Structures are given as C-alpha cells and as structure tokens.
Amino acid sequence: MKLKRLLTYFFTLNILVLYAQQNPFDTNQLMLAEAYEQQGNYAKAIEIVEQLYKKDSQNPNYFNKLINLYISSRNFESAIKLLEARINMFPQDPTNYGQLGSVYYMMGDYDKAKEIWEIPLKKAERNNFAFRIIANYAIERRAFETAIEFLKRGKDASDDPTIYAFDLGELYSLTMQYENAAKEYCELLKKNPGLYSTIEAKIFSFVNKPEALPQIIKVVSKYQSQDVSFKMLLAKLFVEDKKFDKALELYIEVDKSQNSNGQLLIDYANFLFNEEQYLLAKNVYEYVLKNSSDSQIIPSAKLGLTKTLEALILKEFRRLNPEWKPFYSTVYLSEDKTKEILNAYKEVIDLYKHSEVAIESRYRSALILFYVNNKPDQAIEQLNEIINLYPTSAFFPKASIELGNIYLQSGKTELAKEKYLLAQNSNRVFEDDRNLASLQLAKIYASEGNFNLAIQTVSKVTLNLKNDLTNDALELSLILNTAKNDSSNLLKFCKAEILTEQKNFISAREIYEEIIRSPQAFVLHSICKIRSAEMELALNNFPEALRKLGLIVDEEEKNIYSDKALYLKAKIYEYGIIDVSKAIDSYQKLLSKFPKSIYIDEARERIQHLREKLKEGKTDV
C-alpha cells in the first residue's frame, strides 16, 4: 500500500516531465480529451488519446489515460488488447499484469484475473516487490482473500518478511480475521520490540470492532512471556475490556521489570481514580506506599490515596443528597465520617510542608469542611493559609473563589466580591476558574443594581463558548439586557437569585411570585415561573411543584422553559414521588413535544433505564 503510493508518486513525476517535453499541440489535445472525459463523452476522448498513443506509444501518460478511458467506458476488450500489447513491450513490469488482471476481475472472470496475476509472481525472485504490487491490485478490486494469499507467499519467499506483516495485519483486520491480525502484529513485535508504539496503535485501531477484543486478548496472552512489551500491551487490552484487576497484576510485573519504582502504578492508579474505580485505585496507592522507596513518588501516592478515600466518602454524601434537583438543602455528614480523610490530608500537609501537594491537601480539606461537614469557619482558616502564604500556587485562585463562595452564602457580599476579584486578577488562574469568578461577580453586581458593570463582567464569560458556564452566563446576560429598562423588578429578581444561592428558598420564592404578579415585569415572567417551581421542589413541596411545572408546560412555545418544566416533572416522578410509569410518560412527552430540547439524550437514557427496572419488577430507581 505504501509501495503503491510510492509508485504513484514517481509515475506522477514522470507525467509532469513528459508534459514539459510534449509539444504544445499534443498537450492541448490531451487537455481537450480530459475535458470530453469530464463531460462523459468517452468516445470523443478515446478518439483523441488513441491518436496521441499511436503517435507516441512509449509515452506512459497516453497509455494510462487510454487504459482509464477504456475501463471508465467499460470497453474492456480494447483495454485487454492494449495491456497485452504493453506486456509484450515490457514483459518484466508487474504493473501491466496487475492492470490486466483487474480488467478481467471487473468483467467477472475471477479465475482468469488470478491466472494473469500469477504470471509475474512465478517470475519473482527473493525480495521482489511483485507480490506486494499484485496484492495491491487485488485489494483495489476488493479481492481480499486473494491479496492475503499473495502477501503470505511473498512473506514466505522474502529475506525480510516484516515488510509484508503490516499489510497482512491491515487486511486481516479489514476482513474481520482479528485473531490472525493479532498474530501477525505479535510476531512483528517479537522480532522488533522497538516497534511497540506503532504496533499498539495498529491493534487498537480495530480493538473496538465487534468480537475483536476477546480474540486479540487470546493471542497476546500467548506472547506475554516473550517480552515485557507484551505484558504492557496485554495490560492495556485488559483495561479496554474493563478487567482492571487483571491489568493491575501485569502492571506490577512491568513496573518491576522496568525498575520504574512505582511511577507506572501511580499513573494506573490515577487512571482508575478518573474511571471511578476507587477501591482498586486505593489498593494500588497502598501498594506503592508499601513497596516503593522513591521519595519523589511517595507524596503523589499519599495524596492519591487520600483523594480516593475522599471520593468513597463523597459517594455516600451524594447518595444522601438529591442532586437531581436544581436546588436543594444539603444533608451534611458528621465529622466522624470525614475524620480519616482530614487526618490523612493533615499528614500530607505536615510531611511535605510548602509543597504543591501539601497546598492541594489544604485546599481539598477546606472543600470537605465547607461542603460536606458544614464547617465554614474551619474551611476559611485553611483557605486563608493558602492565600496568605502561597500566592504563586496554582491553588491560590481556586482558594480565593471558594472563599468567595463561603462569604456569598453567608451574606458577606463585600468580602465575596473581594475574593472573586482576587481570583480573577491572579496570573495563575485557569480560564475556567476566571470565568466562574466573573459569573459570580456579575451576579453580585446585578443584585446591587449595578447592571452595566454586571453586563460588562458577564460578557467575559460569554466570549468563551466552550466553557461549561457559558449557558448560565448567556442566560444572565440575556436577562440583564432585556429587562434592564424595568430596573426595579430586575433588581428584585437578581436579589432572589442570590437568596437562592444562599439556600433561602422561601424568601426567594416570595420574590419570584411577586414578580410574576407584576404585569410590568412580563419579560421576567417565564424565568420566575420556573424558578418558583424550582423553589417548591427545593422545599420538597412535590404536588405544588408539579402544579406549577404543569402550567409552564401548557404554555408551550410561549415559555422558553417549558421543556425544562416537563423534564423536571419527569425527575419528580422518578426520584421524588417514585412513580416509574408517570416518569416514563413524562420523558416520552418530552421527546415528542420538544425534539430539539437539550434534555433529549438524557430522556432517552432514563426511559431505557426505567423500562429495564420495570422488567426486573423493581420500582425503586
């Protein structure tokens, strides 16, 4: 295949040279023939090129153009005569046999095609490229089994069989012979360990094909004793197959063989953590801490282990909290539940003082104290340590934002603004964090009636359409720009939004309802109606939430949140009231009434999940 591209390159180069050597009349004639060809007038094109070829039969440009015209016009007999004449002129050129065989193949005479293709192969000497050239012609005609046969014969006859291995591997995978493809690549890797990266890429290019993975694993398993590279490859295949424990056994062997002293295992543990395989990640971190003597790896292992313990606790925390709701009152965990994690983070802080690992441990401790334990004062203490002592740390802007969040929720908006600005102006801030700080600042400015500054601030977020906060920022920007002429109601709305963030749902609901009753505030009616329903939901007033959401759904296109209202109704039936049939019905209505809704994909997923539950006879979700 690469050889064919190389031959095409040299052929094209020759054409360019010949074009330069041709007289202008012949060049114009050839261009005229090509124009006729593009118009579909093959007879006229053939007439011109036949004259050119008769005039100069040594010119490969005329020959190839004539062959292509005969084939395009399905004038196979003329193509055969021309190719046979060409073979008489150049009997050693395998490409002529390749083309002739292709013509017979297109005519449906497969036996004759193979007979022609065989001729140059019988003449081929060792290391001759004829097998690959002819195989490429068979591949062009999708005669894959014939091509495989030719390549295998070429491989057996060659002093360097590896030149055929890649082509065979690709053909085997193309024809779904995954076991043979894996064998071909494994044999190649066995002889050339330096090709590991290339071969891994080749195998993983078809590993997700139906039925491929088990066959590949079966083959690679037989080679794992040959070289450590096979263990590495097999481990990655086990990961692809979600057999993480089997992969771990191999990674431990590879880590020992390569004397990486745990770094490979740390990388794998981090991968497991990201895949939410927390228990296995915990085991890997513990193994590294027990067996590694590398002082540079130990801090990462300790931090990784603590983050994994944290993730396990957070799973319990999330189970206690209704995260399906847009807003809700948090159910916190006792300090006893998080004591082990906080102690582990403290150990990292004490052992590796002033390191980035210690700073991250302090930051994560603060998140647990505030969001999980509801200990804002202790969280503030930890975050202030970062801000006061480590202004060049990557966690400085993150700590500033979290301090802003704590102050905002406790009603200290001036302090919140100060911390958000600190994060926004930091030269270590990541774009996502700067956007979050800008959005929070815009909300505060708006709640203070400083709408122009709020619009200016939120625009910094809307400039980045890839950011996760973009939808929230666009929504706020739209509200501020469309409702700023009704400044009194807009101010009420923005204050209600802050109250919502502070989890003061009753006070926020009263303001939203007041705006709904004001005819002057018609621009804000749609969003206040959905917010009012969301406040009922946050307060667990499910019947009233369903009533309000139903009214929004009935408004259809008059309310841009009608699809969200129907989506929330389905959520209430699924998780709140736990009526599976009504949940499915609501999701199905969402699919039919709002086919372009952003909730469509999740609705389909939930319908499938709930139907499976019904089949199993389970009504809990």
Long-range contacts of 286-292 (CB under 8 A, 24+ apart): 287/252, 288/262, 291/262, 292/261, 292/262
Residue 365, CB-side half-sphere exposure with 13 Å CA sphere: 28
pLDDT at 466: 62
pLDDT greater than 70 at residue 352? yes
Mean pLDDT lowest among 90-94, 125-129, 570-574, 588-592: 125-129
CB 494 within 8 A of CB 508: no
pLDDT greater than 70 at residue 150? yes
For the segment 163-204, what is each residue's pLDDT rounded down to a tens digit?
Answer: 888 989 999 999 999 999 999 999 999 988 899 999 999 999
pLDDT greater than 70 at residue 57? yes
pLDDT greater than 90 at residue 560? yes
- What percent of the chain lies above the pLDDT cut of 70? 93
pLDDT at 17: 44
Q: What letter represents residue 514's amino acid?
A: E
CB 125 within 8 A of CB 109: no
Nearest to 185 by CA among 175, 174, 198: 198
CB 439 within 8 A of CB 461: yes
pTM above 0.85, yes or no: no
More confident of the two residues 44 and 5: 44
pLDDT at 383: 98
CB 69 within 8 A of CB 42: yes
End-to-end CA distance of the chain: 54
pLDDT at 15: 45
Q: Band the pLDDT of 14: cuts 50, 70, 90.
A: very low
Both tokens assigned to 116 = 């022609």
Q: What letter represents residue 576's amino acid?
A: G
pLDDT at 241: 95
pLDDT at 319: 93
pLDDT at 62: 83
Q: DSSP label at 333?
A: P
- From the CB of residue 5, how many other CB atoms can be counted at a distance below 10 Å? 9
Domains within the chain, CATH numbers bracketed = 499-615 (1.25.40.10)
- Mean pLDDT over each residue of the chain, to the nearest integer: 90
pLDDT greater than 50 at residue 8? no
Q: Band the pLDDT of 24: cuts 50, 70, 90.
A: low
Give dist(CA 84, CA 199) in Å, integer. Answer: 41
Q: Band the pLDDT of 618: cuts 50, 70, 90.
A: low
Give dist(CA 61, CA 19) in Å, integer. Answer: 9
pLDDT at 467: 61
Q: Band the pLDDT of 487: cuts 50, 70, 90.
A: very high
Give dist(CA 182, CA 200) in Å, integer. Answer: 10
pLDDT at 600: 96
Both tokens assigned to 406 = 């704590």
pLDDT at 7: 43
For the segment 102-111, what is each residue's pLDDT rounded down to a tens digit?
Answer: 888 899 889 9
Mean pLDDT lowest among 76-80, 339-343, 346-350: 76-80
Nearest to 257 by CA among 221, 231, 291: 231
pLDDT greater than 60 at residue 3? no
pLDDT at 25: 63
pLDDT at 11: 42
DSSP alpha helix (H) spans, 59-195:
60-72, 76-89, 94-106, 110-123, 130-140, 144-157, 162-174, 178-191
Category of 376 on φ-ψ map: left (φ > 0), alpha (ψ -120 to 50) or beta: alpha
pLDDT greater than 70 at residue 21? no
**Residues 6 or more apart whose Cβ sits within 8 Å of residue 270:** 281, 304
pLDDT greater than 80 at residue 18? no
pLDDT at 19: 45
pLDDT greater than 60 at residue 443? yes
pLDDT at 240: 96
